[in-house]
């Protein structure tokens, strides 16, 4: 099995494994969406089965909910949980201030709502996701289907006055049809190259009619857990100003790794 996993996958696993240890009995925990979050859900499922961990998970997408149920995690809706102790999710990019770009998996709206309803947000990522300036990864925005082309034109016109290097956008597709997010919205990916002022851009994009929300997560993330392919883990807490390092033994077990195709 070890020959089948790339260093990036190993880095994602050790970050997820380290973050899973932050979950305690009785917690209500937001469960993110994407490849790194899938490792987390698998790790937590193993802790439920093997260690007797008892907690409630609030998934940020339908596919995370399905995986959580498959591995034995109790699943609640956000309305049922109301408020969360912790949300653990991945990110497409993060900078040194722990500003994020999220939404590569198409679930940015539910991810942001869940993260905002949590006492703490922890991001799990491999080292490659850390950047000096956000924007190399396309910035997703959810837009309502009605008049989406008009919304797209308004967004591109707005970008002219923003501190970005690129100003084109594309409609995300699923095969030959527009991709539909869980809330029924379309997703536009903005190809910005570099975002000079993420906070300003996030505020202005959300003022455009037709834009539901954008994938810039500003002042939401508290801690980032960074995994490396050799098993090293770095935990940065922006509130405490601390950096901790650790190493996690990489042991592959069939029940944890089988059928993980996210």
Identify whether the C-beta of residue 46 lies closer than 8 Å to the C-beta of residue 73.
Answer: no
> In this predicted model, what pLDDT tens digit does every residue of 119-131 receive, in sequence order?
999 999 999 999 9
The answer to whether residue 134 sits within a structural domain is no
Overall domain count for the chain:
2
Average pLDDT over residues 47-72: 97
Indicate whether 21 and 123 sit together in one domain.
Answer: yes
Give catalytic status of residue 111 as yes or no.
yes
Average pLDDT over residues 196-220: 98
Indicate whether 31 and 157 sit together in one domain.
Answer: no
Give the per-residue pLDDT at 237.
97
Domain boundary among 183, 198, 214: 214
> In this predicted model, what pLDDT tens digit does every residue of 94-151 receive, in sequence order?
999 999 999 999 999 999 999 999 999 999 999 999 999 999 999 999 999 999 999 9
Indicate whether 108 and 171 sit together in one domain.
Answer: no
Indicate whether 228 and 195 sit together in one domain.
Answer: no
Indicate whether 123 and 244 sit together in one domain.
Answer: yes
Identify whether the C-beta of residue 164 lies closer than 8 Å to the C-beta of residue 192.
Answer: yes
The answer to whether residue 133 sits within a structural domain is no
Cα–Cα separations (whole angstroms), residue 132 to 91, 129, 137, 171, 236: 15, 10, 12, 27, 16
What pTM, to 2 d.p., does this model score? Answer: 0.93
> In this predicted model, what pLDDT tens digit does every residue of 235-260 receive, in sequence order?
999 999 999 999 988 666 545 555 44
Indicate whether 207 and 223 sit together in one domain.
Answer: no
Question: Residues annotated as binding site?
Answer: 33-36, 89-92, 102-105, 129
Indicate whether 87 and 151 sit together in one domain.
Answer: no
- CATH number of the domain to which 8 belongs: 3.40.50.1360
Identify whether the C-beta of residue 184 lies closer than 8 Å to the C-beta of residue 212.
Answer: no
Question: Residues annotated as binding site for substrate?
Answer: 33-36, 89-92, 102-105, 129
Catalytic residue among 80, 111, 240, 252: 111
Average pLDDT over residues 49-54: 97
Indicate whether 203 and 250 sit together in one domain.
Answer: no
Give the per-residue pLDDT at 209.
98
The answer to whether residue 262 sits within a structural domain is no
- CATH number of the domain to which 143 belongs: 3.30.70.260
Indicate whether 53 and 123 sit together in one domain.
Answer: yes
Stated length of the chain? 262
Average pLDDT over residues 69-83: 98
Per-position DSSP letters for 28-88, written without gaps between them: EEEE--SHHHHHHHHHHHHHHHHH----EEEESSHHHHHHHHHTT-EE--HHHH-SBSEEE
Average pLDDT over residues 219-236: 97
The answer to whether residue 239 sits within a structural domain is yes
Indicate whether 175 and 247 sit together in one domain.
Answer: no
Give the per-residue pLDDT at 5.
80
The answer to whether residue 183 sits within a structural domain is yes
Indicate whether 18 and 118 sit together in one domain.
Answer: yes
What's the domain range around 104?
2-128+219-257
What percentage of the chain reaches a pLDDT higher than 70?
94
Indicate whether 17 and 107 sit together in one domain.
Answer: yes
Alpha-carbon torsion 149, 154, 157, 159, what sign? negative
Secondary structure of residue 131 in the 3-state scheme: coil
């Amino acid at each position: 099995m070890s020959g089948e996993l790339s260093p990036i996958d190993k880095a994602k696993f050790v970050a997820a494994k380290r973050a899973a240890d932050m979950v305690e009995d009785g917690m209500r925990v937001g469960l993110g969406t994407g490849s790194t979050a899938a490792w987390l859900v698998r790790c937590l499922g193993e802790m439920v089965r093997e260690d007797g961990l008892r907690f409630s998970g609030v998934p940020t997408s339908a596919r995370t909910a399905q995986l959580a149920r498959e591995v034995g995690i109790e699943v609640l809706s956000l309305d049922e949980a109301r408020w969360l102790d912790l949300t653990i999710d991945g990110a497409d990019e993060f900078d040194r201030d722990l500003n994020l770009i999220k939404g590569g998996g198409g679930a940015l709206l539910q991810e942001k709502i869940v993260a905002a309803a949590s006492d703490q947000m922890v991001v799990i990522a491999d080292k490659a996701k850390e950047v000096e300036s956000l924007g190399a990864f396309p910035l997703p925005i959810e837009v309502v289907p009605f008049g989406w082309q008009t919304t797209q034109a308004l967004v591109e016109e707005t970008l002219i006055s923003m501190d970005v290097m690129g100003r084109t956008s594309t409609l995300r597709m699923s095969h030959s049809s527009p991709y539909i997010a869980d809330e029924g919205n379309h997703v536009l990916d903005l190809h910005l190259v570099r975002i000079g002022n993420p906070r300003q851009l996030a505020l202005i994009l959300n003022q455009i009619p037709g834009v539901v929300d954008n994938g810039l997560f500003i002042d939401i993330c508290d801690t980032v857990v960074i995994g490396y392919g050799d098993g090293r883990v770095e935990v940065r807490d922006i509130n405490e100003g601390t950096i901790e390092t650790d190493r996690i033994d990489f042991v592959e077990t069939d029940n944890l790794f089988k059928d993980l195709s996210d």
